[in-house]
Amino acid sequence: MQLDVLGTRRRTHRSGELRKAHVGEKVFLAGWVDRRRDLGNLIFIDLRDHTGVTQVVCNRESSPEAHQKADAVRPEFVVGVEGDVVERSPETVNRQIPTGEIEVRARTLLLLNEAKTPPFAVSDDKTAEETRLRYRYLDLRRPGMQERLRLRHRAALAVREHMNEHGFVEVETPFMTRSTPEGARDFLVPSRIHHGKFYALPQSPQLFKQLLMIGGMDRYFQIVRCFRDEDFRADRQAEFTQVDIEMAFPEREALFEIIERLMEKLFALVGARVTRPFPHLTYDQALERYGSDKPHLGFGLEWSRVALPPAVREKLHVDGPVKAMRVPKMSEISRSQLDRLQDFARSTPADWFSYFKMGGGGVQSTVQKVVGAEAVNSLAASVGAQAGDLVLLLGIKNLAAESDRRAGASAEARLREASGQLRMEAARRFELIPPDGWHFAWIVDFPMFEYDEKEKRFNAMHHPFTSPREEDLEKLESDPAAVKARAYDLVLNGSEIGGGSIRIHRQDIQRRVFKALGMTDEQARARFGFFLDALEYGTPPHGGIALGFDRIVALMAGESNIREVIAFPKTASAVDLMCESPAEVDPRQLDELGVKIK
RNA sequence: GGGGACGUAGCUCAGUUUGGUUAGAGCGCAUGCCUGUCACGCAUGAGGUCGCGGGUUCGAGCCCCGUCGUCCCCGCCA
């Protein structure tokens, strides 16, 4: 096929921007053939670029050369069009596209490149994700991907602008760094110069940002890639992007305000209004009321604890903790709906489920016959149930039983998890989750440590550089489980979109925390020696946060999967279907690195 | 590591319930016709390793076992 050259021609406009006001102008457009409609002596080409689509008309009579070329054109060919913007006659206006009032009458058509028949139509939208990822470069041409990546770009700009306004400086930190055995698995990079030694890709720039504070940078941020060699999820990739933030002499509420105002700006990009300040919820409150440390606060359902009289407990055979949740105005729900909810409740780690309805004629309950009306009425009163309400009950039946479905999980932990699951399931089934609205919350006062049943020791819940609350310092040695950290998460509509803490800036406290984690001075020194040294040279109080940029952009775009806002993501099995990575390498490369495959 | 769903034409899917003739549809693709289409239309045609391997059976897209891939979830993710 005879192709044309672009030569010195420049685009005068983009495809999506021509309007009635341009009528009469001579323009040059270039882009891809979205669709071609061949009527014989008249050929229509929908010319697409990142801004949209314009209809190009090639008429055999008035421009035979252009028409002849249009005859050969196929979807995804790259073409340039020189022609006149003309107004469409009223009956040929296309109201479905912004450029529908005009069309470009081709004088010259340039065939800049041909294209194989694509595996899927770019102009269509239904394609399995696997195929989309294999041919990502074609998928990227689709308006949806274009919009999402451009939204991501604008979000990144807004972050940089906002952080700059508040005196934060973007500093790059190394990608080739040192493995730290805490936390997630590291991706390792073998050293050619030092056989047997490895760099690690950072799980986050945590230590570097603290070192920048020690280095007097005062306020730092970075939009930065992080790497964690763990299994993928809809909201997790092995490499992902954080907005990493740290400030010296921090005051928690001041930091929160900076972040809240950032969220305000980001969500304004999608026309959303954010209500500030965000509510604070302690970790304990969140778990008690919502059964989750990242509760969706877009609907009301809350659990409350119920105290059952011993006699009632005995009749119901429930000896563990019990919680109740009032579902307002749902007493009309059908029996089969409730049966399905009960089936779901049985699949959770809780082992007792019941419910009652506040009907017109009083309480309707399946357990009423067993425990008597009085007991049910007092239960209803204790959760503030009103006429028309449905009340769900969840509990642990056999405290003493060996049949714990999850070995080691305490009754409280099981009830917590079950209550969180059931709350979300009920909200979904009863369609209580609002389709729009942005419900932010700060979750604060996380526990400092988490007990690892397998390893029989404490782990840092956030990370080992998180400061304990001052009032809990003396419990570091005596009662580590009771120590609360100065750590916080930012939660949006049930997703964790950020987390951070006020850090330890004193070497003595850092040493005590390592000790509580079961690390000897020698072990701590071997792992973080350089950092412990640095702490001794005048470390200012500091703290910060890291925001999950992919998750935030996905939420802004109304997507539940972060792959939709990443140009070249990997599949759930950590594979890039397009470039087929990971891949084997030449044995000589391995030899050079001193690496042998087992 | 575990659980669930899916895998049939280039794409999106039906067919699997209850095994039985030559495996279908829409879109796309090719060729021809068509001067106002915009999901153009009309006509004709090509296109299949039913993911892969094994088994049961006279006979497997369909049943069984294994395996691979994609998605979702649990574990994991300081």
pTM for this structure?
Answer: 0.94
Per-residue pLDDT band for A98 (boundaries 50, 70, 90) equals: very high
CA dist., res. A169 & res. A176, Å (int): 21
Distance A313 CA to B31 C1' (A): 81
Distance A124 CA to B27 C1' (A): 10
**Nearest residue: Cα versus C1' of B11:** A120
**Nearest residue: Cα versus C1' of B37:** A37
Distance A579 CA to B10 C1' (A): 20
**Nearest residue: Cα versus C1' of B10:** A119
Distance A240 CA to B27 C1' (A): 36
CA dist., res. A596 & res. A354, Å (int): 59
Containing H/E element for A376? helix A373-382
Is pLDDT at A362 greater than 80 in this prediction?
no
A437-491 residue pLDDT tens: 999 999 999 999 988 777 778 889 999 999 999 999 999 999 999 999 999 999 9
Going by DSSP bridges, is the β-strand pair A52-59/A102-113 parallel, antiparallel, or unpaired? parallel
| Strand B nucleotides where any atom sits below 7 Å of a protein CB | 1, 10-13, 27-30, 33-41, 69-78
Rounded to 5 degrees, φ, ψ at A530 are -60, -35
Per-residue b or e along A517-556, where b marks 16 or more CB atoms closer than 10 Å to that residue's CB: bebeeeebeebbeebbebbeeebebbbbbbbbbbbbbbbb
Q: Which nucleotide C1' is nearest A95 CA?
A: B38
Q: Which nucleotide C1' is nearest A120 CA?
A: B11
3-state helix, strand, coil in chain A (%, to 5): 30, 25, 45
HEC string of A213-257? HHCCCCEEEEEEEEECCCCCECCECCEEEEEEEEEECCCHHHHHH
Distance A579 CA to B66 C1' (A): 29
Q: Extract the tokens encoding A51.
A: 């801004």
HEC string of A156-222? HHHHHHHHHHCCCEECCCCCCECCCCCCCCCCEEECCCCCCCEEECCCCCHHHHHHHHHCCCCEEEE
Half-sphere exposure (Cβ direction) of A47: Cα atoms closer than 13 Å: 32
Q: Which nucleotide C1' is nearest A88 CA?
A: B36
A12-25 residue pLDDT tens: 999 999 999 999 99
Whether A223 contacts A241, CB under 8 Å: yes
Q: Extract the tokens encoding A563.
A: 């792959």
Per-residue pLDDT band for A409 (boundaries 50, 70, 90) equals: low
Q: ∠ at Cα A487 (A324, A551), nearest 5°?
A: 80
Closest CA to A379 of A453, A326, A437: A326
Distance A117 CA to B8 C1' (A): 22
ipTM score of complex: 0.93
How far from A484 is each of A177, A284, A313, A499, A508, CA to CA, in Å? 31, 10, 34, 15, 18
Q: Which nucleotide C1' is nearest A96 CA?
A: B38
Distance A482 CA to B47 C1' (A): 69
Distance A6 CA to B46 C1' (A): 36
